[in-house]
Structure 1
């Protein structure tokens, strides 16, 4: 006799979001050199009725929280883990900017591995060549 598989945590989350009637959640990803463009994308996505999660720290800008190199390295690891959690929470991912470095590529790969649709503000930078789903 075959037993049905219990729902995965991801399936539980998707069901809970549907049950709550939540709008689409978008995770904004990209190099923090594009923080201004991320702010604009956040505005546009929010105006379109979507919930937005995005990087909250720009470690390229000086700040006391990451002034010490050892603390900065630890914080960077924690922020990367936090951003992966934002990607897992999201229904889709929006890549902002006209450049994709190693960190952004790893975010794209992670999102794809999670089965998340990925859109681009600049579809030409899609490392997988599909970038037809440009952001509004």
Structure 2
């Protein structure tokens, strides 16, 4: 065994609508090339049932739990209900939240 200590790479979870799959792929490649571990939702081949959607939503929250940062993938500022929920969850668990789009308005907790 080697005595070389390797710093743990940053872990980023991508969130957003899978309608932006091209942007997800691009951001995943960009971050990976920078030595960052990327977690992201995967599209499913079938139309998800309500139960499957709930399960996939919970699975994605567990990805957020594992991440150091949540990065929102969007186009034209679009943030759907599921992504909004994920952003608020990330903020509630003290994750850094960033966005691919420079001027996108990310939801915050309302007082």
Using the size of structure 2 for normalisation, the TM-score is 0.83
Q: What is the root-mean-square deviation of aligned Cα atoms in Å? A: 2.0
- Residue 90 in 1 paired to residue 67 in 2? yes
Stretches of structure 1 lacking an aligned partner (at least 5 in a row): 1-18, 130-136
> Which one has the largest radius of gyration?
1
- Residue 36 in 1 paired to residue 5 in 2? no
2:79 maps to what in 1?
100
Counterpart Cα distance in 1 of 2:59 and 2:65: 10
C-alpha distance after superposition, 1:35-87 (max 9, x if no partner): 110010000000011000001125xxxx34x4xxxx62111111000000000
Aligned residues: 102
- Residue 76 in 1 paired to residue 62 in 2? no
Stretches of structure 2 lacking an aligned partner (at least 5 in a row): none
Structure 2 SS opposite 1:125 = coil
Shift of 1:126: 2.1
